[in-house]
Amino acid sequence: WKKLYFAHHWPVTVCKMNANDCHDPPKYWTIHGLWPDRAEDCNRTWHFNVTEIKDLMSDMRHYWPDVLHSSLNRTQFWKHEWDKHGTCAATLEVLNSQKKYFGKAIELYQHVDLNGCLLKAGIKPSSSYYKMTAIKEALTRFYGVTPKIQCIPPEEGEKAQTIGQIEFCFSKELQLLNCTVLEGGSNPMQTHLKLGTSELSVCNDTLPTYYPSEVQ
């Protein structure tokens, strides 16, 4: 693999997509995962072991909660992320154990500080709509790179898309990169999060964009 996608999702939107067990989602961006851009389930014998990340537990619950399954002892989400992506990322020395992989993701989360940057740019959950170009420009201005922003497309009769996920790209040296797909290259990370009936896809620059403050 060549780069990492570091995905943050907006819990309110995740709940809107799948309201099965969502109680009171956090009102801040949380970690979805840290994903190499190729390969999945690289080492099926390297099993997730929650005791290896016990020192990270309070941070994990806060920054990387399982938004859909709120009971506290849920480690299923982390296990899934480790099995599918962590075992692949582990070819890098800085990510080559469960503690390093999850710990580094939390470190990147604090370093990126997406919540703080959006607030500083005056972009906060609201019942009025934003222009997608304004959100993109604010992020690009802050980080010096273009992230990948995913939305739920408008439902029947609606005119606005709903922001759901923001991904930052990192090199193997953990430097921020542009997330733009290379022309003519394949994009192996079609991370279509299919939840319930709706699914996330790259936001449309021309549609008004809803950044919801609570699950409707």
Sign of the dihedral defined by the CA atoms of residues 38, 39, 41, 42, in that order? negative
CB atoms within 10 A of CB 174: 15
Query: Helix H segments across the chain?
Result: 11-17, 57-63, 76-81, 87-89, 98-112, 114-120, 132-143
* Tokens at 136, concatenated: 């993109």
Q: How far is CA 45 from the centre of its chain?
A: 26
Q: Which residues are catalytic?
A: 32, 81, 85
Q: Which long-range contacts (CB under 8 A, 24 or more apart) does 47-51 make?
A: 47/83, 48/75, 48/78, 48/79, 48/82, 48/83, 48/86, 48/98, 49/98, 50/75, 50/78, 50/79
